Chains A and B, each alone.
Chain A
Amino acid sequence: MLQYLIKRLLYAVPTLLAVLTVVFFVARVLPGDPAQVMLGEQAGAEAIQALRVRLGLDRPLVEQYVDFMQGALSGDWGTSLVTGRSVLGEVLNVIPFTIELTLASILLGALIGVPLGAWSALHRNSLVDYATRIGSLFGLSFPAFVMAIMLLLAFAIQLDWFPVISSGGGGSVSERLLHLALPAVNLGIIMAAYITRVTRSSMLEVLGEDYVRTARAKGVPHRAVVWQHCLRNALIPVVTVVGLYLGILIGNSVLTEIVFNRPGLGKLIVGALTQRDYTMLQGLMVVYTFIIVVVNLLTDLTYGFIDPRVKYQ
């Protein structure tokens, strides 16, 4: 098990190196000069050139690349071209907010989606089933940012239950949760819609399996058939979908973070993109890659937890 973990993490190294390289070159071929962007339209050619020298943008590409790789691997991701602060520092500043939001929305999605999907499958073609299916389709097709605005209007402005600007909250846990609530619900609903649909269809499949008939032939009560025999088998595809969907969730969180004006990786990346903050962009790409690698690893580990047929080697 430990061996497997180490192996998987070592596999991640070449992936990260490749991503670093791609990110470095892609950032350089993007049109637009960062020095120009930073100094504005009115800046003179001399000032721009001076800035380019200061940022090292005038040196040969290969030299910049070697420098960049050395820095990246030794933990020095450079400083933001825009704010002048350390990239790593900025990332570490906001990453707790992103993790908090992601975990909360997955938790919410699973807590709603798994029971709803299972229930829907058990009452196939009933009114509840139809309502669940339509509801989840709605949750999937509704744009996240529209729902975010509606949530804000209803719960923050009309009812005044939650803060309009989810800055992340202060020190206390209750305040943090208050700030987390609406953004988490926003993403959680989408997550729940996905999980409901997958749980329903995999549960329907499992209900038709021979081993479920065997359990019933043994006289196992309905409740135990569902909880002990079906659900664990039905969760295997759900784990896959949650793992895959995490990537989309991080993308969706960009819009959510903007609408709720909440700090996070999403907001950071949009800022870096519009301001051509190369160093920040590079750092964020590495962080995203790392997140995906970790999520995949966690997904695989979860399989082993649910399904005894999975062996780690």
Chain B
Amino acid sequence: MAEAPALSVQGLTTEFRIGGQWHAAIRGIDFDLGKNETLALVGESGCGKSITALSIMGLIPKAAGRIAAGKILFEGQDLAQLDEEHLREIRGDRIAMIFQEPMTSLNPVLTIGFQVAEALRYHRGMSQAEARTHALELLEQVKIPSARQRLDDYPHQFSGGMRQRVMIAMALACKPQILLADEPTTALDVTIQAQVLLLLAELKQLYGMSMIFISHNLGVVATIADRVAVMYAGEIVETAAVGDLFDRPTHPYTEALLSSIPRVDRTSDTLMAIPGQVPAINRMPGGCRYAPRCALRQPVCERPPALAPVSGSAPTHLARCWVRAGGDR
């Protein structure tokens, strides 16, 4: 990547206070997001994907959470150090976010037109009328049928898929450089999922955006991402270009995730599941965080492994595993 990245996250650690003590929900997260690139953050529930996105947006609830260490470099500024007012100017303008739950993420008492126009009024200083005209264009762009009639409708008058389109229109209002999509299709029907994914890919191309796509679904990731970072228990455990990852899944967790995708092209009655669950953030194991659930566990796994190049794969393919990626440093 010769060009400077659109976003560079370095050593990001976000902590939450539980019972008077601070515990890291994500620790030492490093990644660069290239211009026009789609990076997928993958992992099961509770692994820190959403916390990573919320940290970038500066939306970690202040009462119980904080960014404890690390940098979030965007346009030469460190977002982690920025005050609320400056963050607000960036949010929804140059970095936008789409959330998982279209049913609850729209305000039930405000019209769709108002909610889509809002970002334009605050960031572009448009008048009500201007913003409304622009909102209409956006709704047409995300292919909401008879958008003109629907501007004054309320969220409850829309289906889940349509609401997610409204969310996308809202996020794209100010033509952001970076779009954070947090499980944007998880709550939708499979057929609607495909439509929304296609729409996202199209619009990303049209707007020339970089995208962080958060998902637990590797199947979806394979169709939309350029690069993948697999997260487990608040750490990135493997990162690679999407092709390399699917060719050579290296970390046992990645492997397990891949084999737990249901497949219609194989006859098997049982679906592979990963035994156990993600450890709670106040009960993290000291060494490799996946070790308690790992079939390949060795004595060396008592010590925390570092992200290390996977031998025999592309140099950008890194994994955090003593057994599979050497990590002998």
Contacts and interface: CB of A to CB of B under 8 A. Distances in A.
Interface of A: 124, 209-211, 213-222, 224, 228-229, 232-233, 306-309
B119 A210 contact: no
Contact of A218 (B84, B109, B122, B154): B122
Given A211-B104, A218-B122, A309-B108, 10 more contacts: A214-B170, A218-B170, A219-B122, A220-B118, A221-B122, A228-B110, A233-B107, A233-B109, A307-B109, A308-B156
B107 A229 contact: yes
A216 B88 CA distance: 8
A219 B108 contact: no
Interface in B141-157: 154, 156
Nearest to B89: A219
Contacts of A219: 88-93, 119, 122-123
Taking residues whose C-beta sits less than 8 angstroms from the other chain, chain B's interface range is 20 to 34
Given A209-B104, A210-B104, A220 B122 contact: yes
Contacts of B89: 219
Most B CB atoms within 10 A — which of A210, A221, A222, A224?
A: A210
B280 to A, nearest CB: 21
Interface stretch (B24-32, B95-103, B198-206, B234-242): B95-103
Given A210-B101, A211-B104, A308-B154, A217 B59 contact: yes
A224 B59 CA distance: 16
Interface of B: 57, 59, 63, 84, 88-93, 96-97, 99, 101, 104-110, 118-119, 122-123, 154, 156, 167, 170, 173
A233 B109 CA distance: 7
Contact of A217 (B91, B104, B108, B156): B91
B107 A309 contact: no
B59 A216 contact: yes
20 contacts: A210-B105, A211-B104, A211-B105, A211-B107, A213-B105, A214-B99, A214-B167, A217-B96, A217-B97, A217-B99, A219-B91, A219-B92, A220-B122, A222-B84, A232-B109, A233-B107, A307-B109, A308-B109, A308-B156, A309-B154
Contacts of B92: 217-220
A306 B154 CA distance: 13
Contacts of A218: 91-92, 96, 118-119, 122, 170, 173
A229 B122 CA distance: 15
Nearest to B174: A219
